[in-house]
């Protein structure tokens, strides 16, 4: 029998734990044996629906998930949590993450999505924590793209207050890495989706509508720009890349993407197909319509969903991540659409 004390579980702190990625990452880390601390902001009602599979499993096993209240706009809560938890790994996923909302709340977005990152980094530095730090960077940094496909060396040209705030976070993460020899990295993640995606992002808006229209509970879906193209992957695959980045020998920034791009219209067609409502498209621009199998208009364009400046085309090249980390996506575009539509159909059937 060994006289050595048992090896203590590694501790991870996840900001934004109540969000799409936070919930998948918390599950992955718990599976890997981490003690996970999730930072969530205080709200009048508890907001942990996405964590319920994990909380349910916890009741039968050792508690490995701890939730604590903190806010990226509040240095004192960040410092207190870091000092108490003393994590080995920190995943900074918290953000005002909606691009359209960032045009309506630019200053708030700058504070939480931009300055929030330096609040985290400076607290880690002042407390002299030897923690590794992951920053949730984004393909929105490329904005008006200068090169296709986009790689780690493609210049940035953000197109929204959200993109600008994330550009600051990207750079300040690099600055702390270079100034203080911190293991601090940026994951430049392209769009990733799941049944847990927020309901106002375009993919989930579409899959919920396809399910509701097929069930006779909604008449029409109104969308903005159908031409926009995105490199859409599955969130479950992408959180694995976050973890791999913090296990690497060297701190490096990585693009995480599928390498395929699809238009919003294509996503819509596949989702409505899956719901049993194949669409044909008629007209163009704001007059474009998606027509259902009985000739009824099921999809319309509504300019209220246009953005003041659009990101037209994103497609990432994740060669560095494949070579260094052995990461590649598992879920295909079509599988992703199907699993989101099926989930939204089953939700409606359950109520
Ligand atoms: P999400 O579902 O919108 O989750 C955002 C999380 O941040 C939520 O837990 C939210 O809490 C939390 N949050 C918001 N304001 C906060 C504040 N002031 N203090 C502390 N926490 C706060 O976003 P996601 O899709 O999981 O994305 C995770 C991160 O990756 C974000 O930083 C996002 O910008 C970035 N990203 C996402 C994608 C993507 O395609 N999903 C791609 C690239 C980068 P509430 O639950 O209380 O709102
Ligand atoms: N949200 C939304 N709603 N978008 C629409 C709609 C609509 O009704 N109609 C068309 N779109 C278009 C948007 O104009 C955009 O070009 C595209 O669909 C995707 O929009 P979102 O799903 O809102 O995602 P996003 O690409 O702007 O931002 C997401 O991905 C980024 C990574 O590139 C977010 O998750 C960001 O946090 C993330 O950084």
Q: What is the pLDDT of residues 22-68, one digit of tens each?
A: 999 999 999 999 999 999 999 999 999 999 888 777 776 666 899 99
Q: Identify the residue with better confidence: 176 or 5.
A: 176
Q: Which domains, and CATH codes, for the chain? A: 11-194+232-260+314-330 (3.40.50.720), 202-228+263-313+337-350 (3.90.25.10)
Residue 287's alpha-carbon distances to 205, 218, 223, in angstroms, are 20, 20, 12
Candidates 299, 99, 115, 119; CA nearest to 209 is 299
91 is annotated as an active-site residue: no
Tell me the angle at which helices 20-31 and 235-247 cross, rounded to the nearest 10 degrees: 60
Contacts for 120 with CB less than 8 Å, ≥ 6 apart = 15, 72, 78, 82, 90, 92, 133
Mean residue pLDDT across the chain: 96
- 134-158 burial: b if 16+ Cβ within 10 Å, else e: bbbbbbbbbbebeeebbbbebebeb
What is the mean predicted confidence (pLDDT) over 66-84?
A: 97
Other CB atoms within a 10 A radius of the CB of residue 14 amount to: 30
162 is annotated as an active-site residue: yes
What is the mean predicted confidence (pLDDT) over 223-243?
A: 98
Q: What is the pLDDT of residues 257-292, one digit of tens each?
A: 999 999 999 999 999 999 999 999 999 999 999 999
pLDDT, residue 7, reads 57
5 has a pLDDT exceeding 70: no
Mutation to probe ligand 2, out of 170, 201, 226, 265 (largest number of atoms < 8 A from CB): 201
In contact, 69 and 56? CB cutoff 8 Å: no
Candidates 230, 124, 106; CA nearest to 163 is 106
In contact, 10 and 41? CB cutoff 8 Å: no
pLDDT, residue 317, reads 98
Q: How far apart are alpha carbons 188 and 245 in whole angstroms? A: 11
Q: What is the pLDDT of residues 93-139, one digit of tens each?
A: 999 999 999 999 999 999 999 999 999 999 999 999 999 999 999 99
Strands 184-189 and 89-92: unpaired
Q: Is the CB of 165 under 6 A from ligand 2?
A: no
pLDDT, residue 351, reads 84
The number of CA neighbours under 13 Å toward the Cβ of 4 is: 4
pLDDT, residue 56, reads 74
pTM of structure = 0.97
Nearest C-alpha to atom 27 of ligand 1 is from which residue? 21
Q: What percent of the chain has pLDDT over 70?
A: 97
Burial class of 2 by CB neighbour count within 10 A (0 to 12, 13 to 18, 19+): exposed
Q: Which of 89, 140, 193, 240 is catalytic?
A: 140
């Amino acid at each position: 029998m060994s006289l050595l004390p048992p090896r203590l579980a590694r501790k991870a702190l996840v900001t934004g734990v109540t969000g799409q990625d936070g919930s998948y990452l918390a599950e992955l880390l718990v599976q890997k044996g981490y003690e996970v601390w999730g930072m969530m902001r205080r709200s009048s009602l508890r907001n942990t629906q996405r964590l319920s599979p994990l909380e349910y499993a916890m009741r039968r096993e050792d508690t490995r998930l701890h939730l604590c209240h903190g806010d990226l706009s509040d240095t004192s809560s960040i410092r207190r949590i870091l000092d108490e938890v003393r994590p080995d790994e920190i995943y900074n996923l918290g953000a005002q993450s909606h691009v359209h909302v960032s045009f309506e709340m630019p200053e708030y977005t700058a504070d939480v999505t931009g300055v929030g990152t330096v609040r985290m980094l400076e607290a880690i530095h002042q407390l002299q924590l030897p923690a590794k730090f992951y920053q949730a960077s984004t393909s929105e940094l490329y904005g008006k793209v200068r090169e296709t496909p986009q790689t780690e060396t493609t210049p940035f040209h953000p197109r929204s207050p959200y993109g600008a705030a994330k550009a600051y976070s990207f750079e300040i993460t690099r600055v702390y890495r270079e100034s203080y020899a911190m293991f601090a990295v940026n994951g430049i993640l392209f769009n990733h989706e799941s049944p847990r995606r927020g309901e106002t992002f375009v993919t989930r808006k579409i899959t919920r509508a396809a399910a509701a229209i097929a069930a006779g509970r909604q008449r029409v879906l109104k969308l903005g720009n159908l031409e926009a193209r995105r490199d859409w992957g599955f969130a479950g695959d992408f959180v694995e890349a976050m973890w791999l980045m913090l296990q690497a020998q060297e701190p490096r920034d990585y693009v995480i993407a599928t390498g395929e791009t699809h238009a919003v219209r294509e996503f819509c067609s596949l989702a409505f197909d899956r719901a049993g409502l194949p669409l044909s498209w008629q007209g163009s621009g704001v007059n474009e319509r998606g027509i259902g199998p009985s000739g009824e208009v099921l999809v319309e364009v509504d300019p209220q969903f246009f953005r003041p400046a659009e990101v037209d085309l994103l497609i990432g090249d994740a060669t560095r991540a494949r070579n260094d980390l052995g990461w590649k996506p598992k879920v295909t575009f079509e599988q992703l659409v199907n699993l989101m539509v099926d989930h939204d159909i089953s939700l409606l059937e359950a109520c």
